[in-house]
Amino acid sequence: MGKHRPRGGSIQVADNYNDKMFIVTDYGALVRSTNSGNIWEPVYLSISSYPQILSMDSYENSVIVNHNWSLRFSKDDCRTWNYHLMSNCYFDAVTFHKGIGTAVDDCGNVLRATSNGLNWTQISNIDVLQFPNQFNGLVSHDSNLFVCNYQGELVKSTNDGFNWILVLDSSQSLHFTKLFSTADAVFASVEGKGLLRSTDSGISWQYCNARS
């Protein structure tokens, strides 16, 4: 592991919290910098059996990462990790919502963390017959949760993930690849087109850097 730049494959996921930067590569390496990216050190997860990290999120001193079949959750700044394994569906995406770990899997199950991430409880299900494509975005913003898929559909929950409503349907004309949020807006990355932005909790969406 190089100390001056992260190595180990292409960058797949990036995040930051408490002045720390995280990068995940497509080889499954999770590395962290505490000095604005000048030096990078590995974060050890003992994940040799689950090499691909699909997504991650952080909140205060907590970090959550997901592989295809498992979730890892740290409450102590990555020193120790709790582990949760599912055997029926891939985990697609994770986020922190109101400080609580939240995940969605390939079967549309929405789960919340309990016992510091040692256990996860299913709280709802997004109908995969209505939304058949793999979910590839999950984000929390302004007390709402948003989930998107590659098929160009985006759903929202206003009650912590217990119920979901469709807020954007492109009729497969758009392909969403990622969701993220700032204090003021929710953003959906659209393949080949740019970024869609909503500043009113998903009611309306506009391109903020559309490609010509």
Domain spans in the chain, listed from the N-terminal domain onward = 55-207
Higher pLDDT, 45 or 53: 53
- Helix/strand/coil for 105: strand
Q: Which of 31-35, 162-166, 187-191, 196-200 has the lowest mean pLDDT?
A: 31-35
CATH T-level fold of 55-207: Neuraminidase (2.120.10)
pLDDT tens-digit readout, 57-105: 888 878 888 877 788 888 887 778 888 877 678 888 999 999 899 999 9
- Helix/strand/coil for 92: strand
Mean pLDDT over 171-194 rounds to: 91
Whether residue 46 is predicted with pLDDT greater than 80 in this model: the reply is: no
The tokens for 141 are 């913003």
**CA torsion sign, 199 to 201 to 202 to 203?**
negative
pLDDT tens-digit readout, 53-64: 778 888 887 888
Whether residue 10 is predicted with pLDDT greater than 70 in this model: the reply is: no
Whether residue 50 is predicted with pLDDT greater than 50 in this model: the reply is: no
Angstrom distance (rounded) from CA 58 to CA 22:
9
Helix and strand totals (H; E) in the chain:
0, 20
Residue pair 88/107 in contact (Cβ under 8 Å)? The answer is: yes
Higher pLDDT, 192 or 80: 192
Whether residue 207 is predicted with pLDDT greater than 90 in this model: the reply is: yes
Angstrom distance (rounded) from CA 25 to CA 145:
26
